[in-house]
Structure 1
């Protein structure tokens, strides 16, 4: 087992170039105005959307360490753009594991970055409630209910939508990410952080999708057993935002000692987090993963706070990079949160 990041991989170099030339210079403007289509087009051209996709479909099939490193770089440069783009990797992974016809129709375009996909499946974690209900109809499926969070509206080309059937199966299917009969979006949400990522809720009222749109159908418990461990690992975005915050302290003599100590803590928890992520059995060492995840949050929170403190009154300006990173860090505390993660995090804060 190795946790070394292959920093020489060409996709890591492309991520650094994209971050330096496109994302970081406009991050404060994007934070206030929204992720522009030009940033998404640059992301599509970079090849990063296919970082983990099979080579035979145009992807890079890069090691997981490369995917983590590129995610860190993008999140540290512009968390809003990273968040829109990171949704894409679940549809790619779902299709790569699927044996259904939709794989041949969509995996290539998604792997090559010709299309960008969003996801609408977090509501599955509310089970046994069924915020989105799926009913069998002749030649396809009917979706009804509410998707509370959908990111990338107006930027994504397609979405991977999920619901639960009366037989307690999960069903994932693709559709175009646009208003259509049976699918309506709310106005974009105004959020404390990542408003720029264009998040809406979706109302489903008889959306009909054919059998040829289905990418996955499985008993809920089978799907959930694979989904639960994913949220227990520390997100690379946490390390990316923390690193960006500490970079703001470079050259500040008053912050030198704090920055050095925080970098040591960050490096230590990153090494542990990525060693756990490489463990061959995702469902093992859950308590250790959760403890590591909460320590990563602690370091990120300390790093972004240090950047705000070092910036002084300037940090209160909405154009402040330190403030943006602090708000992005707040978002990452709850991104992908499950009841298990929330309980572990709250317990750690009481110590």
Structure 2
């Protein structure tokens, strides 16, 4: 990765603070508050917040490199962290100036934390969370199946579907009431400390001062492409962690060779992702965002499995770093999942399994 000072700072925190605590964080039952505070102290919670509101306004490539660095140190911290910086990106790009002035400086400084509840918008079928107008307010009814960081987050970027098919987005305070209830935390293969819950909305009324935007289905599809590019950072981060683990045993040249191969793949995929996101890249040379994400998912899973294979039976231990990386890679394969991404991932697996021509 380039010697950007923000990225270098994120990698130093990941190596020196997050990694030594990663096993403990993985097995915890509550969110990694101290890890998030450490990121906040370094200004990394303000990565996607415009500078005028106290953030860094970092370019997308730097944001991805910082997220990859965090993921290389601690998966559950990265999982919780990205909720906040994605929320800040959406809020920072909206036209509600009063809301931005009220919330973004606190978000950037880490005085308040933001989470997300809109992944359901990309699901096929009837919307699980609907929105209707009541005067100038929006009223939410239904359920948002995924919201991470319950007990840590103060606000949530919440979205549901309007009668015309557009999506309505708000920043709602995370205060339980008759109109907003959280389920018990979900149990996952990894990152249970993320405190991921379902939010049930019963006539949740959100006044216009907390409205963020509406999006058409076409705009949502374009944002899904950008999300796929953003989330490549998680899989590339876990692949880098696997490379480091393979190199930790300097006695075996074969492990070093495997680490070199995976590292070259990581660098190649990162270059392809940055090319897609470069405004100077012609549209016909950008590649397919979904296929790029599928390729990064595949790489993260293979590299982490490589670290499992190299670790032998010890990797069966729940606290072994190779097992943790393998489980984290699985979670990253399912973050912001869509039908197209599932099919692209399967297509890649099938192509790799096809026998070579004689």
Task: Note whether the superposition's TM-score is higher than 0.5.
Answer: yes
- Cα distance in 2 for residues equivalent to 1:289 and 1:99: 27
- The 5 A counterparts of 1:264-279 are 264-279=264-279
Which of 208, 225, 246 is matched with 1:211 structurally?
208
Contact 2:147–2:198 (Cα < 8 Å) also in 1: yes
Contact 2:235–2:299 (Cα < 8 Å) also in 1: no
- Cα distance in 1 for residues equivalent to 2:310 and 2:2: 33
Q: Does 1:23 align with 2:25?
A: no
- Cα distance in 2 for residues equivalent to 1:281 and 1:319: 43
If the length of structure 2 is used for normalisation, what is the TM-score?
0.90
Which of 169, 187, 193 is matched with 1:172 structurally?
169
Which of 29, 36, 57 is matched with 1:40 structurally?
36
Contact 1:6–1:65 (Cα < 8 Å) also in 2: no
SS in 1 for 2:246: coil
Q: Does 1:197 align with 2:194?
A: yes
Residue 231 of structure 1: how far off its partner (Å): 4.0
Residue 280 of structure 1: how far off its partner (Å): 5.4
Comparing 51-60 with 103-112, greater Cα deviation is found at 103-112
Give the length in aligned residue pairs.
345
- Cα distance in 1 for residues equivalent to 2:291 and 2:156: 33
- Cα distance in 2 for residues equivalent to 1:145 and 1:65: 36
SS in 1 for 2:27: helix
SS in 2 for 1:319: coil
Name the counterpart of 2:235.
238
Comparing 178-187 with 283-292, greater Cα deviation is found at 283-292
- Cα distance in 1 for residues equivalent to 2:282 and 2:111: 31
Residue 297 of structure 1: how far off its partner (Å): 2.5
Residue 327 of structure 1: how far off its partner (Å): 0.4
Residue 90 of structure 1: how far off its partner (Å): 2.4
Name the counterpart of 2:343.
343
Residue 29 of structure 1: how far off its partner (Å): 0.7
Contact 2:275–2:281 (Cα < 8 Å) also in 1: no
SS in 2 for 1:249: helix
- Cα distance in 1 for residues equivalent to 2:323 and 2:101: 44
Aligned CA-pair RMSD = 2.1
- Cα distance in 1 for residues equivalent to 2:268 and 2:138: 48
Question: Closer, same or farther in 2 for the Cα pair 1:241/1:114, shift >3 Å?
Answer: same
SS in 2 for 1:248: helix
SS in 2 for 1:235: helix
Contact 1:160–1:174 (Cα < 8 Å) also in 2: yes
Q: Structure 2: which 5+ residue stretches go unaligned?
A: 352-358
If the length of structure 1 is used for normalisation, what is the TM-score?
0.91
Query: For each residue in 1:76-135, what CA deviation from the matched residue of structure 2 results, as whole angstroms up to 9, or x when unmatched?
Result: 101111111101122212222222232221122222322110011111112562211112
Residue 21 of structure 1: how far off its partner (Å): 3.3
- Cα distance in 1 for residues equivalent to 2:282 and 2:293: 14
Question: Closer, same or farther in 2 for the Cα pair 1:173/1:291, shift >3 Å?
Answer: closer
Name the counterpart of 1:62.
58
- Cα distance in 2 for residues equivalent to 1:349 and 1:279: 31
Query: For each residue in 1:204-224, what CA deviation from the matched residue of structure 2 results, as whole angstroms up to 9, or x when unmatched?
Result: 111111111111124x32432
- Cα distance in 2 for residues equivalent to 1:284 and 1:159: 37
Question: Closer, same or farther in 2 for the Cα pair 1:161/1:232, shift >3 Å?
Answer: closer
Name the counterpart of 1:114.
111
Contact 1:117–1:156 (Cα < 8 Å) also in 2: yes
Query: For each residue in 1:261-313, what CA deviation from the matched residue of structure 2 results, as whole angstroms up to 9, or x when unmatched?
Result: 22222222222222222245898667543333333233222211111111111
Q: Structure 1: which 5+ residue stretches go unaligned?
A: none
Comparing 261-270 with 286-295, greater Cα deviation is found at 286-295
Comparing 204-213 with 125-134, greater Cα deviation is found at 125-134
Comparing 339-348 with 131-140, greater Cα deviation is found at 131-140
Contact 1:80–1:196 (Cα < 8 Å) also in 2: yes
Query: For each residue in 1:27-78, what CA deviation from the matched residue of structure 2 results, as whole angstroms up to 9, or x when unmatched?
Result: 0011111433222222222211111221111011222222121111101101
Q: Does 1:159 align with 2:143?
A: no
Contact 1:103–1:215 (Cα < 8 Å) also in 2: no
Name the counterpart of 1:292.
292
Contact 2:291–2:341 (Cα < 8 Å) also in 1: no
